[in-house]
A and B are shown apart, each in its own frame.
Chain A
Amino acid sequence: MKGATETPQHTASTLVELVERGGAAIEGDAPSWLRDARAMAIERAAAIGLPAKTDEEWRYTDPKPLLEGQFSLPRPGAHEGDDPCEHMEIEASARIVFIDGRLAPEHCRLSGLPSGVEVSLVGTGEEADVEERLAPIVAQGIGGARDGLEALGAGLITGGVFVRVDAGVTLEKPIVVVFRAEDGSPVLSAPHITLIVGEGARASVIEDHQGSAGATGLTLGRSEVRVAKGAHAEHAMLQREAPGRHHVSTLRLIQDAESHFHSDRILLGGAVTRNNIHATLQGESCEAVFNGLYTPEERQHHDSHIRVEHMAPGCNSRQYYRGILADRSRAVFTGRIYVKDVAQQTDAIQSNSNLLLSDAAQAVAKPQLEIYADDVRCTHGATSGQLDADAEFYLRARGVPERVAKLLLLQAFAGENIDRIENEALRSTVHALADDRLGAALERNA
């Protein structure tokens, strides 16, 4: 591990400036493959352009705060000192902690992994041989990016984790990666997670993005998941960043035949949040579940953008996204189901429901179907409304105070998706966080 050397070079700039300055812009002591990746990401961003509000895909989310905010890259070296993180009570097979974009080696636990499981750190200055396995994935991510922001997320990589589970190996407990932002300068961190699950293997990763109350800056995250034939993979993301920090993250998933994948994405924090999922069900008879909950409040903006591609016959996909919006918050849900002509017997469901706690809150739902096969079952439904007045009255007619009645109904609504979270510890953490948040939101939106 290299010592923490403080260098003054990491002055703030905007992403627009970063892209204008070009590939050589990022200095530092990164290995050459990573410097190449960063340069490639910046070049690609310049070539395809950073998003603009006039882009159809950004119609309801103004990218300006993301592109024109002044952010500084993490200082080089490791984080030293106490562990300020809020940790879930979770049994993890490994735990990795990043603070302000820098690895916090003292707070990581990587020992005791079963054989056939590789967990390597990325972008921390000490990775040696992960390059040849990771570089092609990174290049693929940059090449496939649909806008410049996604390209930057795929290739900037300020730190991350590479996980590979060999064929037939089962990793019982999840690998937990915590990304924490502390008060101070507006750090741009680009965390990168790779999860490669071999044939018939089983593994899960949980990302926990958090921050102290005053943290600012931008998370530009990327999660690359590859699920080989017959494998089971789970990926969860808890986004509980500080309200002043922006969060953009993209889950890129490619599934081989007969594989199973489950995603949980819980958006609680952040100022402007963009949650991208790009899933390709490449082989036959895959199953994929995309479970999500967002609870924006005050002036938070939570945008989920999901694209599920059915490329082969007989796959199932499920998108379950729910939101509870308080105050003057906004939420966007764009879900596209794409079914290729050969993907017969596709069974795809997409459902999005929103509860609005205030007249000033606004939810936009844009379900999109793009189907080129004829023997498919694809359904989508979107609802948006207030709490059910009949249900509330029924509870109150039994003596339950108004606030409690409303909270029960909100918990029930959110609970449907929280209960779907695969990991039990994450599930109860989210239950507790949501209860607190919704209780407070009810106080304000009475």
Chain B
Amino acid sequence: MHEPLLKIEGLCAEAGGVEILRGLDLQVNAGEVHSIMGPNGSGKSTLAKVLAGREGYEVTSGSVLYKGQDLLELEPDERAREGVFLAFQYPVEIPGVSNMQFLKESINAVRTHRGQEPLDTVGFLGELREKLAVVGMNEQLLQRSVNEDFSGGEKKRYEIVQMSLLEPSLCVLDETDSGLDIDALRVVSEGINRMRSPERAMVLVTHYQRLLNYVQPDIVHVMVGGRIAQSGGKELALQLEERGYADFTGVDDPAQQTNPQEASA
């Protein structure tokens, strides 16, 4: 078997002097869809930010290998150009930077890095229209500044638009399903499903089983207190839906844990 796309071992990280990730192990192979669930504050977004390289989150020990290279060595923009994509739990509004300018800079930085020709305006608009259509986004939103005055649902859809434009290898989606109405959830899920491919892996951070009805995960992890407490198949998500996290919080019984490697085998 060839090397995993992402291999995290013993990852510890802190922010603002608080230890948040405490020895996290996770392995994701190309083609897989993983789901990470866990109570509020368990460190899911922190993991996502550490993977994307957010300043202020300091890795104190452990390692992250992405495509066999040390991900933590790379700058955030290098990671993105190398194919790591984080869909933000809270996409940032950037007044004064137009969506057109932003997307064009973004896609052409990634394309140039891959040795592809940068897109001209016509080519870019063509691509963009297609991706917008998939998630049912109105082109007129592009006249505004990045995420500015987008509704919660529009922001989440827009993350999917960016993801499909950039065609990353590793997609980390942090609660992209939160704040979506029922129809939007279906549309966004469809956008995610379209992106599934044997070369690409997805990590879906979610609180709700309903996303997983649309996007069937291969592996479900439960994250508690900054580490993976249990991993299993998609039935684990159903079990969580029924019983909550009581089985995991406060308890730290290694016997309960399934090795993620085994689960994915």
Knowing A399-B81, A402-B75, A416-B96, the reply to whether A394 touches B109 (Cβ < 8 A) is no
- Map CB proximity to B onto A396-407 as digits: 1 under 8 Å, 0 otherwise: 111111101100
B88 near A408: Cβ-Cβ < 8 Å? no
Tell me whether B238 is interfacial, beta carbon within 8 Å. no
Quick check: which of B26-34, B100-108, B195-203 contacts chain A, the rest being far away? B100-108
B94 near A398: Cβ-Cβ < 8 Å? no
Whose C-beta in chain B lies nearest to the C-beta of A391? B94
Whose C-beta in chain A lies nearest to the C-beta of B106? A398
The smallest C-beta distance from B215 to any residue of chain A, in angstroms, reads 22
Contact partners of B54 in chain A: CB under 8 A: 393
Tell me whether B117 is interfacial, beta carbon within 8 Å. no
Number of A-B contacts (CB under 8 A): 81
Q: How far is the CA of A167 from the CA of B75 in the complex (A)?
A: 62
Tell me whether B91 is interfacial, beta carbon within 8 Å. yes
A396 near B77: Cβ-Cβ < 8 Å? yes
B102 near A395: Cβ-Cβ < 8 Å? yes
B113 near A408: Cβ-Cβ < 8 Å? no
Q: How far is the CA of A409 from the CA of B110 in the complex (A)?
A: 20
Knowing A408-B101, A408-B105, A412-B97, the reply to whether A399 touches B80 (Cβ < 8 A) is yes
A394 near B91: Cβ-Cβ < 8 Å? yes
Question: Which residue, A391, A397, A413, has most C-beta atoms of chain B within 10 A?
Answer: A397
A404 near B105: Cβ-Cβ < 8 Å? yes
Q: How far is the CA of A390 from the CA of B147 in the complex (A)?
A: 13
Tell me whether A389 is interfacial, beta carbon within 8 Å. yes
- Map CB proximity to A onto B67-95 as digits: 1 under 8 Å, 0 otherwise: 00000000111011100011010011011
A400 near B106: Cβ-Cβ < 8 Å? yes
Q: How far is the CA of A338 from the CA of B91 in the complex (A)?
A: 42
Contact of A389 among B55, B80, B86, B94 (CB under 8 A): B55
Contact partners of B96 in chain A: CB under 8 A: 409, 411-413, 415-416
Contact of B94 among A399, A402, A409 (CB under 8 A): A409
Contact partners of B55 in chain A: CB under 8 A: 389, 393
Q: How far is the CA of A408 from the CA of B101 in the complex (A)?
A: 9
Q: How many residues of B are counted as interface, with CB atoms below 8 angstroms from the partner's CB atoms?
A: 32
Knowing A393-B55, A404-B105, A409-B97, the reply to whether A398 touches B162 (Cβ < 8 A) is yes
Q: How far is the CA of A391 from the CA of B86 in the complex (A)?
A: 14
Contact partners of B56 in chain A: CB under 8 A: 389
A398 near B80: Cβ-Cβ < 8 Å? yes
B80 near A394: Cβ-Cβ < 8 Å? no
Q: How far is the CA of A96 from the CA of B199 in the complex (A)?
A: 66
Contact partners of B97 in chain A: CB under 8 A: 391, 395, 408-409, 411-412
Whose C-beta in chain B lies nearest to the C-beta of A390? B92
Q: How far is the CA of A416 from the CA of B52 in the complex (A)?
A: 30
Tell me whether B166 is interfacial, beta carbon within 8 Å. yes
Contact partners of A388 in chain B: CB under 8 A: 94
Q: How far is the CA of A400 from the CA of B81 in the complex (A)?
A: 8
Q: How far is the CA of A397 from the CA of B74 in the complex (A)?
A: 12
A401 near B77: Cβ-Cβ < 8 Å? yes
Q: How far is the CA of A389 from the CA of B76 in the complex (A)?
A: 12
Knowing A408-B102, A412-B97, the reply to whether A398 touches B166 (Cβ < 8 A) is yes
Interface hits, B188-218 → A, CB 8 Å: none
Q: How far is the CA of A185 from the CA of B238 in the complex (A)?
A: 84
Whose C-beta in chain B lies nearest to the C-beta of A389? B55
A400 near B109: Cβ-Cβ < 8 Å? yes
Contact partners of A398 in chain B: CB under 8 A: 80, 102, 106, 109, 162, 166
- Map CB proximity to A onto B9-34 as digits: 1 under 8 Å, 0 otherwise: 00000000000000000000000000
Whose C-beta in chain A lies nearest to the C-beta of B76? A396
Q: How far is the CA of A399 from the CA of B81 in the complex (A)?
A: 5
A sample of 17 inter-chain contacts (CB < 8 A) reads A389-B55, A393-B52, A393-B54, A393-B92, A396-B76, A399-B107, A404-B105, A408-B101, A408-B102, A408-B105, A409-B96, A409-B97, A412-B94, A412-B95, A412-B96, A412-B97, A412-B145
